[in-house]
Structure 1
Amino acid sequence: MDVRNTSIEELKSKLTGTVMSVGDPQYDDARGVWNAMIDRKPAVIARCRNTEDVCYAVRFAGEQGLPIAIRGGGHNVAGHAVCDDGVMIDLSEMRGVTVDPDQKRAIVQGGALWRDVDSESQKHGLATPGGLISDTGVAGLTLSGGIGWLRAKHGLSIDCLKAAEVVTADGSVVRTSAEENPDLLWALKGGGGNFGVVITFEFELFPIGPEVMFAAPIYPLSAGPEPIRFWRDFVSEHEGLIGSLCEFSTAAEGEDFPEEYWGQKVFTLACVYNGDAAEGEKLLQPLRELGPMAADFSGRMNYVEVQQLFDELMPAGDFRCYWKARYLSELPDEMIDRAMADAAAAPSANSLSSLWNFGGAVSHVPADETAFGDRSMGWMYSLDAVWSDSKEDAANIAWSRAGWEESAKWDHEGRIYLNFPGHGEDNLELTKRAFGPNYARLAQIKAQYDPNNVFRFNQNISPAA
């Protein structure tokens, strides 16, 4: 049977959502994702509107012997949301968020973006740890860990995940929580999209905002390493209160920077205080007194605004991207010098690189409590190559990989953050290293819920034999 004809018409008759294939008017727009480098053509795109649609689409893929890619927000840099010659299950019309302020819980559909969660939860003065860019999908960020501004006090996104509903490879709906199918919930906490289509997430919420303190003093790279060394020691001293990163970038032309800094390499000591805004303003003040600044975007501001501050740096579909990251056991002076040299050498003015702090609530979770694994890393180094011209692909990818490889001497047990996987070319080796001792248990759970590895467009975990 031709998958593009009779069987597709049958799927169309069952779904309340939209089914597309090559040649349909909406097909090319629907297969596009956030990274402009990704150009894949699924055999079928099923844009689902409800749980029944997802079940039908999964069963259809099974009947046709086709693998499945799952689009939540479509933000993964490796383009895991879309595949060649398989079924793309598109959840972009399933973005509902329901908040129970009394129970401090949010029920979030699988296609929601973090801005959807922030908007609804902040109506009640509540939030849960999300990402740093608000149009990131909740599903992709959460399932590989979820590193955001609130990690110092409330941990990773997975640490606040209390339950989920999943459509598994046979098209059935499974609920998982601490009481129901707990192994599956354990696997979802860091194991990526390996186990099915998550149609709802249930998150714990915390009183946050509406006003928080955001510090963002920006220093020229020419200021040298001393401000970064001070920042390193400062955030280490207050690790349970500050979610932070030192971000290297290029000062843009325009009103945000004095003309004398246009085009210069700079670094931002960006911090969100995980507590009272007035207390945070006082505590973070020393970071704003480390020498002449190129700019200073610090201040008390609305939490939702903070969550959207980085959105304009990377509009969806505008740039070609290649990101790599690794966890670091420590952040010595030599590693800071390495990061500054990498920033100076970036071939694109749009590229970013960052040093992220950990500790605090992130480190309090035992390694075997979530699939994510060990939490004893102190830092993370990421190199986010971002550029426009396809002729510059090789130079920008080489820059990101070189910095990533050269930082290996300080890495933490060879582990990486799976949301920054390059284009997935290192998947097998790095996935095993990322999970460490937890990999074997994940393979067993994979065999239970997806024995034929239908869900393999991810950092793939092969089912145990």
Structure 2
Amino acid sequence: MDTLTIGDTEKLADALRGDLITPAHPRYDQVRKVWNGDINRHPPLIARCADAADVAAAVTFAAERGLPIAVRGGGHSVSGQGLCDDGLVVDLSRMRAVEVDPRRRLAHVQGGALWQDVDPVTQAHRMATTGGIVSETGVGGLTLGGGIGHLMRRCGLTVDNLVEADLVTADGRCVTVDATTDPELLWGLRGGGGNFGTVVRFGLRLHEVGPTVLAGMLIYPLDDALSVLPHYRDLIADAPDVLGTILNLRLCPPVSAVPERLHGSPIVAINVCWSGDIEEGQAFLRPLRAFGRPLLDTVAPMPYVDLQRMVDGTSRPGKHYYWRSVDFGPLTDQVITTLVEHASRITSPMSAVPVYHLGGAVGRVPAEDTAFGSRHASHNINMFGAWEPDQDDRDRHVAWVRDFSEAMAPHSVGQYVNFLNDEGTDSVRAAYGRRWRRLVALKRRVDPQNLFRYNFNIDPEWPDEGDT
């Protein structure tokens, strides 16, 4: 990295309509914060861009001076990819506009938008696309890495609905990428992460959804999990695509949707979203809701936007987070036993073990159509460690996550890139599998200097020999 001068900094500040934040700025510590409080980095420059021209100016400035770039959209990456210690942060948090083209069934979403910006706008047209489980999640990071959400079995992953993008490339050009202008680059954006530039606008396909869905949660004591989970497994085996479910094994969080008497108790929750006909959903879910001794059943017709905010209180910004993830096949008895055993050893009331039911539309997309790597998995598990900033036992929480991950490793059929943390290049490569060579070739074409390296990085200098 070349040494920055005061003149350099002033030149960039003059080129921006937005703000340039340096360590001398009074709001520097506030601006550099990201969702995961465990990340503490000190970038020399943060360009809070107002528009695509600002992004182009910032990228050009960094390229000319050999500064690596970290792109910050929602800032929700657990590994803190939106921050760096030695480069320029391109901060898109001011760029959150959302517009809907109802004729094309397309949402135009700026690169800094959160899902809470998107869902109300698309629902005004009775449409939606697969979005994050937490409404504070950034659209950019979720989309570029894959995009798990309540609607994925019906509508596909978010990445499957990315049909075009405005992208600022490593040479400072703003280009529109679609299946006509650059199909290979569009392929790479569909799962290849932030390796190929800064997306300033996403064009996302919309589907008829809502405004009312059948949704909510069933909560059981964790002690009942060994009987509840096999019953759940049998029900979802024949589930139509309009049913999305997420298991969650944890200590019951202190949120308003749950009675205070349950707060802190070990539970298994089944979160449900039926986006089809409500009466058909009531009939299909009846055997699940009638089983066992649920502590709570909140499944009812509700606005889709309320579902998208339902668990927001369980992952607040500023807490410290560490996680691992595994894609796996069927929910076998052995897997269920492993889940329950390790969830019973959970180390924090803020930690959780969400298990996402994949399949449906996710599994029907041909494996080579996108860079996303786990089309054949049936489930994804995210071992989610969380603790308060003032706690000094980080190692204990991290150890629980790693032990859980190792116990699930024999069942692994892949990994979800967006849920990687600090596993390193080999895990990134393994997550992409046979798509790796193709991604490296694309990286060499559009970012040969690896300017965009603060991501799950695809190194353009990766040797050709021995690639799989």
Alignment TM-score > 0.5, same fold: yes
Matched residue, 1:221: 222
What is the CA–CA distance in structure 1 between the aligned matches of 2:177 and 2:431, rounded to whole Å?
24
Displacement of 1:258 after TM fit?
5.3
- The C-alpha deviation readout for 1:182-222, integer Å capped at 9, x for no partner, is 11100000000000000111011011000001141100011
- The C-alpha deviation readout for 1:348-394, integer Å capped at 9, x for no partner, is 01110022111100000111110113411111111110111441210
Q: CA RMSD in A?
A: 1.5
Q: Secondary structure at the match of 2:435?
A: helix
Q: Decide whether the 8 Å contact of 2:253 with 2:314 is kept in 1.
A: no
Matched residue, 1:384: 384
Q: Decide whether the 8 Å contact of 1:74 with 1:137 is kept in 2.
A: yes
Matched residue, 1:193: 194
Matched residue, 2:406: 405
Counterpart residue type for residue 176 of structure 1: V
- The C-alpha deviation readout for 1:150-185, integer Å capped at 9, x for no partner, is 011111001111000110111111211111111110
Structure 1 consecutive aligned stretches of length 4 or more whose deviation exceeds 6 Å: none
What is the CA–CA distance in structure 1 between the aligned matches of 2:306 and 2:340, rounded to whole Å?
29
**Are 2:443 and 1:446 equivalent residues in the alignment?**
yes
**Shift in alpha-carbon separation, 1:258–1:59, aligned structure 2, 3 A:** closer
What is the CA–CA distance in structure 2 between the aligned matches of 1:265 and 1:128, rounded to whole Å?
33
Matched residue, 1:326: 326
What is the CA–CA distance in structure 2 between the aligned matches of 1:161 and 1:281, rounded to whole Å?
32
**Are 2:343 and 1:349 equivalent residues in the alignment?**
no
Question: Aligned runs of 1:16-31 on 2, under 5 Å?
Answer: 16-31=17-32
Q: Decide whether the 8 Å contact of 1:244 with 1:357 is kept in 2.
A: yes
Q: Decide whether the 8 Å contact of 1:122 with 1:209 is kept in 2.
A: yes
What is the CA–CA distance in structure 1 between the aligned matches of 2:258 and 2:147, rounded to whole Å?
31
**Are 2:35 and 1:34 equivalent residues in the alignment?**
yes
What is the CA–CA distance in structure 1 between the aligned matches of 2:459 and 2:112, rounded to whole Å?
25
- The C-alpha deviation readout for 1:255-284, integer Å capped at 9, x for no partner, is 755565442200111111131233222211
Q: Decide whether the 8 Å contact of 1:220 with 1:293 is kept in 2.
A: yes
Q: Secondary structure at the match of 1:339?
A: helix
Q: Secondary structure at the match of 2:60?
A: helix
Matched residue, 1:210: 211
Counterpart residue type for residue 441 of structure 2: Q
Q: Secondary structure at the match of 1:212?
A: strand
| Runs of 5+ consecutive residues of structure 1 not aligned to the other structure | none
Percent identity, please.
39
Matched residue, 2:459: 462
What is the CA–CA distance in structure 2 between the aligned matches of 1:147 and 1:328, rounded to whole Å?
15
Matched residue, 1:100: 101
Displacement of 1:23 after TM fit?
1.5
**Shift in alpha-carbon separation, 1:294–1:21, aligned structure 2, 3 A:** same
What is the CA–CA distance in structure 2 between the aligned matches of 1:339 and 1:331, rounded to whole Å?
10
Q: Secondary structure at the match of 2:367?
A: coil
Matched residue, 1:265: 266
Displacement of 1:95 after TM fit?
0.5
Displacement of 1:250 after TM fit?
1.1
What is the CA–CA distance in structure 1 between the aligned matches of 2:310 and 2:354, rounded to whole Å?
16
**Shift in alpha-carbon separation, 1:345–1:79, aligned structure 2, 3 A:** same
What is the CA–CA distance in structure 2 between the aligned matches of 1:250 and 1:391, rounded to whole Å?
21
What is the CA–CA distance in structure 2 between the aligned matches of 1:52 and 1:219, rounded to whole Å?
52
Counterpart residue type for residue 122 of structure 2: S
What is the CA–CA distance in structure 1 between the aligned matches of 2:193 and 2:259, rounded to whole Å?
43
Matched residue, 2:419: 420
What is the CA–CA distance in structure 1 between the aligned matches of 2:118 and 2:385, rounded to whole Å?
28
Counterpart residue type for residue 353 of structure 2: S
What is the CA–CA distance in structure 2 between the aligned matches of 1:215 and 1:253, rounded to whole Å?
16
Matched residue, 1:431: 428
Counterpart residue type for residue 137 of structure 1: G
Displacement of 1:235 after TM fit?
1.2
**Count of matched residue positions in the alignment of Structure 1 and Structure 2:** 460
> Once structures 1 and 2 are overlaid, which stretch shifts more, 288-297 or 152-161?
288-297
Q: Decide whether the 8 Å contact of 2:255 with 2:313 is kept in 1.
A: no
What is the CA–CA distance in structure 2 between the aligned matches of 1:262 and 1:79, rounded to whole Å?
30
What is the CA–CA distance in structure 1 between the aligned matches of 2:167 and 2:255, rounded to whole Å?
47
- The C-alpha deviation readout for 1:4-33, integer Å capped at 9, x for no partner, is 511011111110000011121121111100
**Are 2:80 and 1:83 equivalent residues in the alignment?**
no
> Once structures 1 and 2 are overlaid, which stretch shifts more, 237-246 or 355-364?
237-246
Matched residue, 1:71: 72
Displacement of 1:253 after TM fit?
5.4
Matched residue, 2:143: 142
What is the CA–CA distance in structure 1 between the aligned matches of 2:9 and 2:27, rounded to whole Å?
15
Displacement of 1:238 after TM fit?
0.6
Matched residue, 1:176: 177
Q: Secondary structure at the match of 1:395?
A: helix
Displacement of 1:322 after TM fit?
0.6
Displacement of 1:286 after TM fit?
2.0
Matched residue, 1:123: 124
| Runs of 5+ consecutive residues of structure 2 not aligned to the other structure | 464-468
What is the CA–CA distance in structure 1 between the aligned matches of 2:212 and 2:411, rounded to whole Å?
37
Q: Decide whether the 8 Å contact of 1:239 with 1:358 is kept in 2.
A: no
Q: Secondary structure at the match of 2:192?
A: coil
**Are 2:370 and 1:370 equivalent residues in the alignment?**
yes
Counterpart residue type for residue 387 of structure 1: W
Structure-2-length-normalised TM-score: 0.96
- The C-alpha deviation readout for 1:236-255, integer Å capped at 9, x for no partner, is 21152311111012124587
Counterpart residue type for residue 78 of structure 1: S
